[in-house]
């Protein structure tokens, strides 16, 4: 039976790869994004653009659309987020709030609103996108790493909160993702060990599978390129 899958940030490079992987597996996939519309079209599934996932009213409306279209929610993948590099001395203190909003509050908001539907699924899954940089941060990464560390703590605490339910909660922690933007920003970098979006999607597919039914509260590094 096809599952109902939500991928936030679904119009971006990683979100599109994740959505495509679930669609290929026969699932009903909804892509939700802050952007107004996707750059690519699909033959099936639901696209909901223009959603501020820090706004509970807008997010609830999107969740309700998914439930109306597909009867519920089985898998929630929180890809939505952002990145910036700036030092504390030369940067803006507002950047810290921006990163918390984009990376942590988006995930917390839609997860909270999706929990009733996820609890009705025979095998609910919440999968977050953390970051290897939140394990050991570097210069200029403070605001981003702090927000992704929040995603890690959300993952661990929610997994324990839902330990008696049918829902598992995990996160994947990629290193540098091989995207056109990252290649443009780092033109001289060695990209051989950058992680392909499709490889991250494969790990997410596993965590959403029945084979991973006993895995919860895990922070899974995804760091091997090729």
CATH of the domain at 184: 3.40.50.720
**Active-site residue (options: 5, 144, 159, 203):** 144
Q: Look at residue 225 in the predicted model and tell me its pLDDT.
A: 83
Is the pLDDT at 177 greater than 70? The verdict is yes
pLDDT tens by residue, 205-225: 999 999 999 999 999 999 998
Give the total number of structural domains in the chain.
1
Please enumerate in sequence order all residues whose Cβ is within 8 A of that of 97, keeping only pairs 6 or more positions apart, or say none. Answer: none
Domain hosting 90: range is 4-222
Q: Please give the pLDDT value at position 192.
A: 86
pTM, rounded to two decimals? 0.96
Average pLDDT over residues 11-38: 97
Q: What percent of the chain has pLDDT over 70?
A: 100
Tell me what pLDDT residue 43 has. 84
According to the model, what pLDDT value does residue 185 have? 86
Interatomic CA distance for residues 194 and 182, integer angstroms: 10
Query: Is 82 assigned a catalytic role?
Result: no
């Amino acid at each position: 039976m096809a599952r109902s899958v939500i991928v936030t940030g679904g119009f971006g490079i990683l979100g599109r790869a994740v959505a495509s992987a679930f669609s290929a597996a026969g699932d009903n996939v909804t892509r939700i994004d802050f952007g107004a519309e996707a750059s690519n079209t699909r033959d099936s599934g639901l696209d909901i653009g223009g959603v501020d996932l820090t706004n509970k009213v807008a997010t609830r409306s999107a969740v309700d659309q998914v439930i109306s279209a597909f009867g519920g929610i089985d898998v929630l993948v929180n890809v939505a987020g952002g990145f910036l590099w700036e030092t504390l001395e030369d940067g803006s203190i507002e950047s810290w709030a921006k990163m918390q909003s984009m990376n942590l509050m988006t995930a917390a908001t839609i997860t909270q609103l999706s929990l009733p539907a996820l609890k009705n699924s025979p095998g609910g899954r919440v999968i977050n996108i953390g970051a290897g940089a939140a394990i050991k941060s570097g210069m200029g990464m403070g605001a981003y790493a702090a927000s992704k560390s929040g995603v890690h703590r959300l993952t661990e605490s929610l997994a324990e909160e839902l330990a008696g339910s049918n829902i598992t909660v995990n996160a994947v922690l990629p290193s540098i993702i091989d995207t056109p933007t990252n290649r443009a920003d780092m033109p001289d970098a060695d990209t051989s060990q950058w992680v392909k979006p499709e490889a991250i999607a494969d790990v997410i597919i596993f965590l959403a599978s029945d084979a991973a039914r006993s895995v919860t509260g895990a922070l899974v590094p995804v760091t091997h390129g090729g």
